[in-house]
Amino acid sequence: MSHEIRFCALEEYKLLIDFIKKHWKKDHIFVKSKQALDFQHLDKKNKRYNFIVAYNTTNKEFDAILGFILISQYSHLKDENLWLSIWKSKKNYAGLGLRLVKSLEQKLK
């Protein structure tokens, strides 16, 4: 099985919410409110959600997610710093979460 490690596309909103609902918390605020998710993670400039995802090319689902919030979303400062948010992998994918962290580090250099 193969994974694409990449940013979450806007069109993948449902995949993201389904993952959060099934593997994090079924009544999480992001599951209940797209407005809350968009406020915290929608990156209008780059046209994506600020999540790094492990997209399973076999079953077409996310097997891991790592959310992040860029400082520039709330400040005039450059994106040299960020906050991490939801970080979760499915139980059978040990080590996949670490790949997301390393990928995020590379992509935001």
What does the pLDDT read at residue 18?
Answer: 98
Show the domain range for 52: 3-107
What does the pLDDT read at residue 80?
Answer: 67
Number of domains the chain contains = 1
Q: For all residues of the chain together, what is the average pLDDT?
A: 93
Cα separation, 20 vs 11, in Å, equals 16
Helices (DSSP H) in the chain: which residue ranges? 13-23, 29-32, 34-41, 96-107
Class of residue 45 by CB neighbours under 10 A (exposed 0-12, middle 13-18, buried 19+): exposed
Q: In this structure, which amino acid lies at residue 103? A: S
What does the pLDDT read at residue 78?
Answer: 65
CATH number reported for the structural domain that contains residue 103 in this entry: 3.40.630.30
What does the pLDDT read at residue 77?
Answer: 64
Query: Is the pTM higher than 0.85?
Result: yes
pLDDT at 109 over 70: yes
Instruction: Dump pLDDT digits (tens) for 43-80.
Output: 998 999 999 999 999 999 999 999 999 887 777 766 66
| E strand or H helix at 58 | none
Token pair belonging to 9: 């596309």
